[in-house]
Amino acid sequence: MMIMTKLYELLRHKFVWWALFVLWLMAIFYASSLTDQETRPYIPTFALHKLAHFVAYGSGGVILALSLRFSTRWGWGKIAIVSIAVVSVYGATDEFHQTFTPGRGPAARDWAIDTVSGAAWVGMLVALKGRLKRWIGVVLNSDIR
């Protein structure tokens, strides 16, 4: 149980989440720098491409929301709005970035998926935060504040 407690303490540290967010930003930038030919072996179909957007931007929204939660005194409503807005803006800049990548181009549909994904995942985080907190308390066998 000591390992779980230490892991929990580490994951409550704001620098961990901000580092993960910076890594997320870099990963998205790198992925957008790959040509169509370079991405095709990994994401060969239209559906997988859209699923990749959904997972990438949804996870980015959650990582940013947790970064803000552990480093500000903001309520969940403000955290959700800021996280969704930032993910949406980054999605738009990502689509613009793709105009400079051979075989790639901007797509409003991808930007919309990025925004909706961020909103969906952050919304799920906010909706489930109480249950997650209780589950972590059970796992650690202690009260979590």
20 located within any domain? yes
User: What pLDDT is recorded for position 139?
Assistant: 61
In 3D, which of 59, 36, 57 has the Cα closest to residue 113? 57
**Total tally of structural domains belonging to the chain:** 1
11 located within any domain? yes
145 located within any domain? no
71 located within any domain? yes
Identify the domain containing residue 81 by its residue range.
Answer: 2-140
107 pLDDT band, cuts 50/70/90, is: very high
110 located within any domain? yes
**Location of structure tokens 């999605």:** 91
CB 42 within 8 A of CB 65: no
pTM: 0.87
C-alpha distances in Å from residue 75, one per residue of 51, 53, 57, 69? 30, 27, 22, 8
141 pLDDT band, cuts 50/70/90, is: low
